[in-house]
Each structure stands twice: as C-alpha cells, then as structure tokens.
Structure 1
C-alpha cells in the first residue's frame, strides 16, 4: 500500500524517537556524567562570558568584593598572598611540570600525554579568553598584590582547577581519588578566594575559570580514555600507543 509523504515522515520520526529512547536507556549514566561534568560547566562559563561581553560585568561582583574587603586584616592578607603564590607560579606550574616529567620517568606515556594536553590546553584557553574579553582588573582599592594583565577568566582559578581535575581523572581507578578530590577541592576554593580577597579578580572571573577548566579537562579525558575519568589503572589514550613494558630488574 502506497504511503503518503506525511505518513513516511511520521514513521521516520517515530523510529528515530524509539532509537533515541533505546540509546538513552543503554547509556544514561555516561550521558548524565557528561551533562554534569562538561555541559553544565560550559553553560556556566557561557552565561558569565555573555554578561561580561555585553554588559561589562556581573551585578554581584562588586558587592562580594566589598564585603570580603571589609574583613581584611594584615594576618589574613599574608595568608592569602601565600595561597595566591602557590596557586600558580610557585605551586601549580612547577607541580604540573614535575608530575608530567614523573609520568614519563615511570613510563606512563599515555597518561603523560593526557596530562600535557589537559594542563597545557587550559593555559592556552586562559590566555586566549583574556585576550578576547580584555576585561580590566577590579580597581575598588589598592591591592597588596597588584596584577597588570587582563582579568577574565582567572588564570589561578583555571590552573588550580585543571591540576586538581586532571589528578582526579588519573587517580579515579585507585583508592586515592577521594583524597585528590577532597584536598584538591579545598585547595582550588582557597586559591579562588585568595584572588577575590586580594582584589585582583572579580568573583565571576574565578567562577568562569573553574567552569572552563573543569569542562576542558573532563572533555580531554572523554576524548583520551572514552570516559570522563580514567576507567582502569592501566588504561592509556589510544593516540599514545601502549605504554612501554617495564624494564627487568638487574636480579632477573
């Protein structure tokens, strides 16, 4: 029996809907993780970026900065300057380099490739975004640790989040994953808060940095390992090839 064009279209739509339902039922867990791990952070970054681009800022930025500044003391300032220092140039950057080299030394070439792309890519994204948005630093008071580059998004926030997220990805199939998430999460929050306390970043700079970096690292993991996190201790990105076999010891 000859079907009309309308019936063909309806039949095709129903078939597509049934296939979509089967796909979601079979893969709802990784899809949900992808939504929360990559989708939501990207939405958050996009929303903040749109406000910065179109209106020059976010309404809650200045009130938060002024509230935090009201609680400034010399002792707190010293602590925040230290946290800020280790949150990038004197902590995150050298640690990222050491971890990358360490992965190569222990012959984990695939993990080293993931690490390099995750950390290096976050840095490139940060500089690209700063040059694109060209947002000026806050000027509500004289900062005890002034900065002279662009503000959006925060490089400290992106760097610390990239470090912690990449560590969590690699540690996921081990018992150390919760330590990486818990301690790393506290460290990332402290670094972000230190930048607001010191008056060198708007809160939206920090949140945008966290969001962009989390989405980037988990996206790289999805490409490298086929999961948002490393599925098995010996899993390695296909592009890197298999890790070299361990060299036999002198006594064997």
Structure 2
C-alpha cells in the first residue's frame, strides 16, 4: 500500500471521527460502548454478566428441550401422572381455594399489583427504573407468551373435565409466566434491601402455588407450567441485568477525557 493511500485513509478516518464526535455521548451506556476510554464498565460487570448468562442459558435450554418434545408430538412422562394425582385431590373445599389462588396469577391481579407498585416506586419514591423493570418485564412476558402460544398451538389437556374455561392454547402457561415475572421483579427489587429474604420466601411459595392451581383445574400440563417459568426467568433476568448496567453507567463518576490527538 502506498504512502499516499495510507495518508488519504488516515485523513478520511479523522474526518469521520470529527463528524461523529458531537453525536457521541460522553457518558451513559451508549458512551461506554462507543468510547470505553471515557466511561469504563463498572466494577463487577463481568461477574454479573456471567451470572446473567447462566441464569439465561439454563432456563432457555430447559424451554427448548420441552418445546422440541412438544413439537415432535412426544408425550412427556410426568404430565399424565401429575395431573391424575391432582385429580384425586379434588374436593369442593380444595377447589374453592384453588380458584381463589389461581386468580393471583391472572390477567387482573398481576397487572393491578404491578401498576400499583410501579406507580408507588415512580411517584412516591421518585424511582423510575424499578417501575420500568416491572413494566417491561410484565408487558414483555405477556407478549412473549402470546407469540409462543401461537407458535406451538398445543391443545389443552383432556385428562379430566376442566373446572374453569380457557379458550387459548396451552403452551406455555400464561399464569405461570405472569406470576414468575412478577415474583422475579419483586426479588430483584428487594435484593439490596432488608426485605430480601421475606420476598424470596413469599415468591418461593407464590409461584409454585399458582402453577399447581393451573394443573389442578385441568387447563395446563405440568410441562406448560415448567416452560412458563423457564421463559419468565430468562426474560426478567436479562431485563434486570440491562437495567443494572444502565444504572451503574449513569451514576459512574466522570473520568478525565482523553487528550485530543
């Protein structure tokens, strides 16, 4: 390559940098990506990314395994025994309790609670990012659930007469996804506070309880519920990780800019 060509390329690159420099933010998440010299990634970022990747990959692998079996028409060995075991627990009293509990993961209770919590966090505490986490996670899980149902078009189980009527497809469970997304957000928000362990304990009871009610009522296979949990865990984990990174970058102390060449 001639010296003239090299010089011309250098001048072109320099001119391009001059044009783009006003458009390049000096801080924030985009600034850190465009110019790592000015805003480095916060301490602990790679460790968090590692945990987030594992938390994303494992549930995705679980979902893919379930989805492949369902797409191929294979019967999962635990679906029938679990549902028939629950069928033997049907009593009027149990059914009343189950119908009440299942509503806690339904299309009314979850959005109402999420909106109330988001409004409280945004207005009373002046914190928009937790509200954004709740909104993005729950709206996203609803959209993803609708898309996946249309993709797989799995019919509802027919092991026994349904106690409630559902008209949509079965896989994955929308109640399982919504309750897991809500509980996941609650755990993320409570983690740095003194409410960490009570919230984790409550979520550990709430999510399985809603999932069991869907099987008891006859409207979901156990594999539908497991798939819903896998998808929500992966989705909320990734949303929380991105928001954690944005938060750390926005509040990172400014560094001295590099001298202009």
Bin the TM-score by the shorter chain: 0.7 to 0.9
Higher relative contact order (Cα pairs below 8 Å, separated by 6+ residues): 2
Cα deviation for residue 188 of structure 1 reads 0.6
Cα deviation for residue 36 of structure 1 reads 4.0
SS of residue in 2 equivalent to 1:49: helix
Cα deviation for residue 35 of structure 1 reads 4.6
SS of residue in 1 equivalent to 2:72: helix
Gap runs ≥5 in structure 2: 1-43, 252-261
Give TM-score, length-normalised by structure 2: 0.74
Partner deviation per Cα, 1:134-157 (whole Å, 9 max, x = no partner): 111111211111211110000000
For 2:75 and 2:144, the matched residues in 1 are separated by 20
In the superposition, relative to structure 1, how do residues 135 and 237 fare at CA in structure 2: closer, same or farther (>3 Å)?
farther
SS of residue in 2 equivalent to 1:223: helix
Residue number in structure 2 paired with 1:33? 51
Larger Rg: 2
1:95 pairs with 81, 97, 113, which one?
Answer: 113
Residue number in structure 2 paired with 1:214? 233
For 2:111 and 2:204, the matched residues in 1 are separated by 17
Moved over 3 A (4+): 26-32, 235-238
Residue number in structure 2 paired with 1:9? none
Matched, 1:146 2:157: no
Greater shift after overlay, 173-182 or 208-217? 173-182
Cα deviation for residue 28 of structure 1 reads 8.0
Cα deviation for residue 29 of structure 1 reads 4.8
Q: Give me the CA root mean square deviation.
A: 2.1
Residue number in structure 2 paired with 1:117? 136
SS of residue in 1 equivalent to 2:76: coil
SS of residue in 2 equivalent to 1:118: helix
Greater shift after overlay, 86-95 or 213-222? 86-95
For 2:74 and 2:155, the matched residues in 1 are separated by 9
For 2:52 and 2:128, the matched residues in 1 are separated by 26
Cα deviation for residue 104 of structure 1 reads 2.0
SS of residue in 1 equivalent to 2:247: coil
Matched, 1:155 2:174: yes
Partner deviation per Cα, 1:192-230 (whole Å, 9 max, x = no partner): 00000110000000000011001100111111113xxxx
Cα deviation for residue 34 of structure 1 reads 2.7
In the superposition, relative to structure 1, how do residues 84 and 104 fare at CA in structure 2: closer, same or farther (>3 Å)?
same
For 1:101 and 1:28, the matched residues in 2 are separated by 32
1:236 pairs with 222, 239, 247, which one?
Answer: 247
Gap runs ≥5 in structure 1: 1-25, 227-234, 243-252
Q: Would you say the 8 A contact 1:154–1:209 is kept in 2?
A: yes
Alignment of 1:60-139 (within 5 A): 60-106=78-124, 107-139=126-158
Partner deviation per Cα, 1:91-132 (whole Å, 9 max, x = no partner): 222101211222221321222222211111111111111111
